[in-house]
Amino acid sequence: MVAEELSQDEIDSLFGDSGGNNGEESEDSNINETVRKVFELLNDSLEEVLKTAFSLEVVSKFTDLSVKKGEEIALDNKVFIIVGLSSDKASSELYLITDKRFASILSDLMLMGPGEAKEELEPDDLDALKELFSQVFGNLSTALKDTIPIPITIEVKEIRGEAEQFSDTVYFASYDVALPNIEDGVVEAVGKKDEFDSLFAEEEEQKEEEPEEVPFKEVEEESESKPASKTEKAAQQIKEAPKNLDLIMDIDLEVKIRIGEKYMLIKDILDLKDGSIIELDKSIEEPMDVLVNGKVVAKGVVVVVGGKFGIKLTHIETREERIKSLGG
């Protein structure tokens, strides 16, 4: 008996090719595009902060973002960095997960060690990991301000050696992190899908309302009718006297970077000793102040350039405001 020849469509149907493709398209359609952007920015922040903290050419690669069932996530022999995210109307938690060996390498590097792996993490290692990832999410918080029109507060809450199995549908992201001449590892990010969709859905609603909320024409008309402010008058005077500015362009001024401040009692100052820690009034997520002539003219984040500290500006006053600050 001779079997009938099957068509290509019948062969594809038997192997389920078309069904598989439809499944992939369905999964992609379930991913909120704003959430995808957040996980992409997290990869950039992870790479940038590890490079700066370790003075190594660290490479982080964003390899996967998918929707999974919580029970599919492996939790054995892992370390969990728990991060709180919140806006005015919604909140959620993000879990960064990596194996204990790679976590111990990161903590050792953070503590100025050579990057040696340990069997168990000690309290100092957990503190070092919390500091490291506070910097990562501080960097991410700054990046989100340019991406999402609503303020998102981010806080690294705690580091754990164990966690309960996830039971909800989750977003699952994976990052391959390469530490040159040391070791490569994987960092995973997990967040509840419904909470993340709620947290970042507000951006789309706000974007739709933006054209109605900003009446450009009315603003222009009002600005024409208002008298010039003191700042505008000062700016006009500066523009009208460029020759006077040329006379001071070669003067040296001291630029200072202000990390933070704190008022202390004299008795507390006298009690200071080697190893004492002074807690400043500025959060690690806040940018540093750049002062010229005692006045703040810019803000930025601390970086390392050629083995020396530097500052990358994230905000700077207008040229007119900077010139006005020179007057003391």
Q: What is the pLDDT of residues 181-216, one digit of tens each?
A: 999 999 999 999 999 988 887 544 444 445 554 454
Mean of per-residue pLDDT scores for the chain: 80
**Residue of higher predicted confidence among 234 and 179:** 179
Q: For CATH 2.30.330.10, list the domain ranges present in the chain.
A: 228-275+282-325
Rounded to whole angstroms, the Cα distance separating 322 from 316 reads 9
Cα distances from 166 to residues 22, 95, 171, in angstroms, run 27, 10, 11
Report the residue count for the chain.
Answer: 328
Q: For CATH 3.40.1550.10, list the domain ranges present in the chain.
A: 23-212
Rounded to whole angstroms, the Cα distance separating 43 from 74 reads 21
Strands 255-258 and 153-160: unpaired
pLDDT of residue 95: 94
Fold classification of 23-212 (topology level): Chemotaxis protein chec (3.40.1550)
Which residues, listed in sequence order, are joined to residue 160 by a DSSP beta bridge? 80
Q: Is the pLDDT of residue 273 over 50?
A: yes
Rounded to whole angstroms, the Cα distance separating 99 from 78 reads 4
Nearest to 172 by CA among 192, 151, 200: 192
**Do 112 and 128 form a contact (C-beta atoms < 8 A)?**
no
Rounded to whole angstroms, the Cα distance separating 110 from 129 reads 8
Q: What pTM value is reported for the model? A: 0.56
Cα distances from 167 to residues 78, 88, 190, 200, in angstroms, run 18, 26, 12, 21
Rounded to whole angstroms, the Cα distance separating 228 from 218 reads 17
pLDDT band, residue 226 (cuts 50/70/90)? low
Q: Is the dihedral of CA 103, 104, 108, 109 positive or negative?
A: negative
228-275+282-325: CATH class: mainly beta
Residue 151 — φ and ψ, nearest 5°?
A: -70, 130
Structure tokens at 130: 């919390």
